Amino acid sequence: MADSEVHKPEKHIIPLTLTTLKAACSQCNLRELCLPYGLSEPEIEQLDSAVGARRRIKRQQNLYHAGEDFEAIYAIRSGFFKTDVLLEDGRNQVTGFQMAGEILGMDGISGETHTCNAVALEDSEVCVIPFSQLEQLSREIETLQHHFHKVMSREIVRDHGVMMLLGTMRAEERLAAFLLNLSQRFTARGYSPAEFHLRMTRDEIGSYLGLKLETVSRAFSHFQEDGLISVQQKHIVILNHAGLKQLLNHQPN
């Protein structure tokens, strides 16, 4: 869709010309959610110059694969991703869903190799931030350094939340937590808190939540029967936010 103008066949890199460069961070309306958060105007312009390029990823294509060399982290400009890990024996699990303003690729820093796959769930665009440049810049700009540390730490805290979910919650609680989390993140991006389109399949939701797709489907149906949500395929309307929240705090034992 309006994509055919880009045709460097390998990887759809959009080299930053003077005009696109200008647009990198300083013109970006995700500034407040993304890496530049808290930076002053001149600092943002420095960051602009570090952002190497933008890259378009079509639906179902990988931004990176597990095993590839790590060189950059990515800020999602638009679109929607999942990350997943593959075990030797073939089992795999979705470790997260990422949306605009969020950062992808930090798993690769530790071993200089990506440890998971990042796959676009819809046509997407990311800003490529070469990691060595980010490190250099964050040695110069204290605010950037601090904010990047917060971003990494937030990922750790998020992961702990998922561990909690997988370790202690029952199927319907997991799905309720998942929906509320999506709602909250869409809201932060200016979309409706109550109505949205799921970009992922039941199977992918199940993988993320440690459930089988049938269980996810049944939980959706049950929520609908109870008037908590309306589901039609991937179209979700949250009818009773508080009711969903209650599911989480209501302790069975």
Structure tokens at 86: 């593959």
Q: Could you say whether residue 146 binds a second copy (CB under 8 A)?
A: yes
Residue 93 or 240 with smaller CB distance to DNA: 93
Q: Could you say whether residue 138 binds a second copy (CB under 8 A)?
A: yes
DSSP secondary structure letter of residue 193: S
Minimum distance of DNA from residue 235's CB (angstroms): 9
Indicate which of a second copy, DNA, none lies near residue 91 (CB less than 5 to 8 Å, by partner kind): a second copy
Site for a second copy in 190-209 (CB under 8 A): 207-209
Q: What residues contact 183, with CB distance under 8 A and at least 6 apart?
A: 193, 194, 196, 238, 241
Using CB under 8 A, which of 22, 29, 49, 164 touches a second copy? 164
Alpha helices in 93-240 (DSSP H): 131-140, 142-168, 171-188, 202-209, 213-225
Alpha-carbon distance of 156 to 49, in angstroms, equals 28
Alpha-carbon distance of 250 to 109, in angstroms, equals 39
Using CB under 8 A, which of 142, 184, 214, 221 touches a second copy? 142
Alpha-carbon distance of 120 to 122, in angstroms, equals 5
Minimum distance of a second copy from residue 117's CB (angstroms): 12
| Interacting residues toward DNA by CB under 7 A | 170-172, 198, 201-203, 210-218, 220-221, 231-234, 252-253
Coil vs helix vs strand at 183 = helix
Query: Largest Cα–Cα distance in the chain?
Result: 61
Q: Could you say whether residue 43 binds a second copy (CB under 8 A)?
A: no
**CB of 53 closer than 8 Å to CB of 12:** no
Indicate which of a second copy, DNA, none lies near residue 130 (CB less than 5 to 8 Å, by partner kind): none
Residue ranges in contact with a second copy by CB under 8 A = 85, 87-93, 95, 106-111, 115-116, 135, 138-140, 142, 145-146, 149-157, 159-164, 166-168, 207-210, 248-251
